[in-house]
Amino acid sequence: MERRHFFAVSAGALGAALAAGGWSRGSGSSGGNESGDAAFSKSKAEWKKLLPEGAYRVLFEDATERSFTSPLNDEKREGTYVCAACFLPLFESATKFDSRTGWPSFYRPIDGSVETKSDYKLILRRTEYHCGRCGGHQGHVFDDGPPPTGQRWCNNGLALQFVPKEAPLPALRT
């Protein structure tokens, strides 16, 4: 009887938490800008044609690339990291650090470049962040980073492209 009561209470608490915080965007996302910029909205089919399969899965199906597989982990040059979908600049290389997690990590995004929301995919609440322009999933924010912010913006390398300082930034994709 006690075990049955425990499971009933646990299921009820989980349901209440999910209802209060919302469920994270799943594969049904169109990848449009959440601020309602219909002029930039693209369908999943359009994104799928434009992007390599791995980047598409990370950006618009919220997949996670395997740790220690991104060449961006070892990128040490000065430059800018842009969204692999729409090319919006998201991070400056000066904010990148070695988190030893196997994913490119930064202590701060470029102001206004990303948006966040609660993610309950692993039951516990996490903060997911995505490109503020196209809505492409980038990664999660954790409070275990270095000064000055104490944050770790843990990014999927497939969701980024690196642009060296001496190269021009790509035009924003339309």
Residue 72 domain-assigned?
yes
Residue of 83, 86, 134, 154 marked active site:
154
- Average pLDDT per 10 consecutive residues for the chain, totaling 174 residues: 42 38 34 45 92 97 95 97 98 97 97 85 80 96 96 97 98 94
Has residue 114 been placed in a domain?
yes
- Residue 151: Cβ within 10 Å count: 19
Cα dihedral 15, 119, 46, 91 in deg (nearest 10): 170
User: Can you give the pTM of this predicted structure?
Assistant: 0.76
Q: Does residue 82 form part of some domain?
A: yes
What's the confidence (pLDDT) of residue 119? 72
- The CATH number that applies at residue 58 is 2.170.150.20
Residue 123 belongs to a domain: yes
10 located within any domain? no
Long-range Cβ contacts of 164-172 (<8 Å, 24+ apart): 164/77, 164/78, 164/79, 165/77, 165/78, 165/79, 165/80, 165/93, 167/79, 169/80, 169/82, 169/87, 169/89, 170/82, 170/87, 171/87, 172/86, 172/87, 172/88, 172/133
Confirm whether 154 is a catalytic residue.
yes
Determine the longest span between alpha carbons in the chain, in angstroms. Answer: 68
- Domain around 108: 24-164
Is residue 7 assigned to a domain?
Answer: no
Q: Per the domain annotation, does 42 fall within a domain?
A: yes
Domain count, the chain: 1
Residue 139 domain flag: yes
Q: Which residues pair with 28 in a beta bridge?
A: none
